[in-house]
Structure 1
Amino acid sequence: MFRGMYTATSGMMASERKQHYLTNNLSNAQTPGFKQDQAVIRSFPEYLLKERNTDSLKSNKQVGELSHGVYTQEGVPLFSSGTLKETGNNTDFALLDDSLPIDEETGQKGISLIGVRADDDTIRYTRNGNFTLSDDGFLTTSEGYRVLNANLEPIQLSSEQFTLKGSNLIEANGNEQELWVGYTGNPEGLTQLGNGVFEWSGDENNAPRDIRTTEFNQFTVEQGFLEGSNVDLTTTMTDMLNTYRMYEANQRVLQTYDQSIDKSVNDIGRVY
């Protein structure tokens, strides 16, 4: 009986964690370049049940498998493209890479990202091109991360009066520098930190590298545009409702077990 309580409790915990991912997706529906997380729910290791006949201890007939519950293992970002929105701001960039082919090594469609440098000097990646100029003229993200050029150095400009030429060439006052754009054929190695910023947590051999050094050079950067979030509000709200109902169903099972235990303890075997 207690096993059933643990199974129902695991279902409630899995539902609660999945709801956390869905709520985070909903709250970032208007964040440029945000990629929604998909909760991965998995079963605990299953037990194989076998029949034991009292007349013959050698009986080994298989009855079936029994799972002891489920858990939400992780949130996996969905890297489909968001809709393009025109802003007219010179410091807004949108990456367009829908024509990227399937990477033969990974069997997945790769993704391109803009490189930024965090406060701790580590390189991170983003699709959120909602940049601004800092007081000292550096092109930065909303978190203050500095956007990098092709030499992995921060891009510094004298003003917002600059032009983006070609795929990723920034021209200002006769000076040119390339925006660093990276490519990885294994998007699952990216961990979402928030506000459309990612860090690499996978195999270093598959980490984003300068897209110019790869054969997957089919991309453009549009100035004055932003890539919207890929969160579907209708689908997300529906999933939140279904997850709530799953939580309630497991809660009712738990209450039923609690009532059965209460009856067993207080009623069964009572001496009148």
Structure 2
Amino acid sequence: MFRGLYAATSGMMAHNRKQQVLTNNLANANTAGFKQDQTILRAFPDQLIKAMEKGKIASNIGTLNTGVYAQEGIPSFMQGALKETRNSTDISLLGESLPVNPETQKKGTVTFAVRLDNNEIRYTQNGQFTVNENGLLTTAEGYRVLNQNLQPIQVNSTEFTVQDNGQIILQDGTANNRLWIGYTEEPEQLVKEGNSLLRWAGDPAATPQFVDNVALLNNAGTFVKQGFVEQSNVDLTQTMTEMMSTYRGFESNQKVIQAYDRSMEKAVNEIGRIY
């Protein structure tokens, strides 16, 4: 009897977790470069139920579902719409123009690289940059944007241009820096850390590679677009619909638990009562 109670409880917990992910997506609908998370509900392994009778071979009755769980949110790296700002420090990545690897049938994704205050390197797809008081190109949080040698980029002012391949040309014509643009075929190995940062959680030997070092991209020279910001890829209509559906799923499991509660109350108070 209590097995169904456990299954309904796991359903409530899974739908609650999915609702949290959807709420976070909705809250970041206006965050530049934000990638929405997708949550999948999966079932625990079924149990095989057998009838055991004395002196007889056990016979199979069927299977019993033991509940569901919510798989952790998996980011969708589909490119968001581009919004023109005409700001020189706004640089969008063009992931949709990447070719598909004919061997793996994977398209992959591209990212910028930034250096944290503790000198660790992280990745980001939010190209809404700024120039700090030292003339360095940084993110809105102050993390230093890195060049082809994984060093901070000195631009001195906002008067610079960025070519399609990430080459930066300063106001005086100097062109000794190029944005580090990394490519990976396994974006699912990038884990969100907040502040639009991504951390590589896969094989350390398979971290995103500079685009020039990827043979697949030899003929793909357009990686960025200056004066544009990539908007969030959150679909508001779809997210609101999923939130309503998730709420209904939570409510349904809640009613199952209430039904079990009434059944147990009746069993305790009425079954076995002596009249």
Q: Which residue of 2 aligns with 1:23?
A: 23
Distance 2:148 2:185 in 1: 20
Relative to structure 1, the CA distance from residue 104 to residue 53 in structure 2 (aligned partners, 3 Å threshold; closer, same or farther) is farther
Among candidates 245, 248, 259, match of residue 245 of structure 1: 248
TM-score (norm 2): 0.93
Alignment map for 1:158-173 (pairs within 5 Å): 158-172=156-170, 173=172
**What amino acid is the match of 1:182?**
G
The answer as to 2:80 corresponding to 1:77 is no
Q: Which residue of 1 aligns with 2:92?
A: 94
The answer to whether the Cα contact below 8 Å between 2:190 and 2:199 also exists between their aligned partners in 1 is yes
Q: Which residue of 1 aligns with 2:180?
A: 180
Range with greater deviation from structure 2 (45-54 or 240-249): 45-54
The answer to whether the Cα contact below 8 Å between 1:28 and 1:195 also exists between their aligned partners in 2 is no
**What amino acid is the match of 1:229?**
S
Q: Which residue of 2 aligns with 1:230?
A: 233
3-state secondary structure, aligned to 1:103: coil
Deviations 1:151-188 (A, max 9, x none): 00011221100111241100112322110000001111
Identity %: 52
Alignment map for 1:1-272 (pairs within 5 Å): 1-56=1-56, 58-59=57-58, 61-103=59-101, 106-172=104-170, 173-176=172-175, 177-217=177-217, 218=220, 219-272=222-275
3-state secondary structure, aligned to 1:135: coil
Distance 1:47 1:206 in 2: 39
**What amino acid is the match of 1:245?**
R
Range with greater deviation from structure 2 (176-185 or 112-121): 112-121
Higher share of residues assigned strand = 1
3-state secondary structure, aligned to 1:109: coil
**What amino acid is the match of 2:189?**
G
Count, aligned residues: 270
Range with greater deviation from structure 2 (257-266 or 234-243): 257-266
TM-score (norm 1): 0.94
Deviations 1:46-93 (A, max 9, x none): 21223334451x23x433222211111211011111111000111000
3-state secondary structure, aligned to 1:102: coil
How far apart are residue 105 of structure 1 and its match?
6.0
Distance 1:44 1:121 in 2: 42
**What amino acid is the match of 1:248?**
E
Range with greater deviation from structure 2 (115-124 or 99-108): 99-108
Distance 1:104 1:119 in 2: 39
The answer to whether the Cα contact below 8 Å between 1:34 and 1:195 also exists between their aligned partners in 2 is no
**What amino acid is the match of 1:202?**
G
Unaligned runs of 5+ in 2: none
How far apart are residue 29 of structure 1 and its match?
0.7
CA RMSD of aligned residues (A): 1.5
The answer to whether the Cα contact below 8 Å between 1:31 and 1:195 also exists between their aligned partners in 2 is no
Deviations 1:178-232 (A, max 9, x none): 1000000111101122343211111223211111100232242111101111100
Unaligned runs of 5+ in 1: none
3-state secondary structure, aligned to 1:246: helix
**What amino acid is the match of 1:156?**
Q
The answer to whether the Cα contact below 8 Å between 2:10 and 2:67 also exists between their aligned partners in 1 is yes
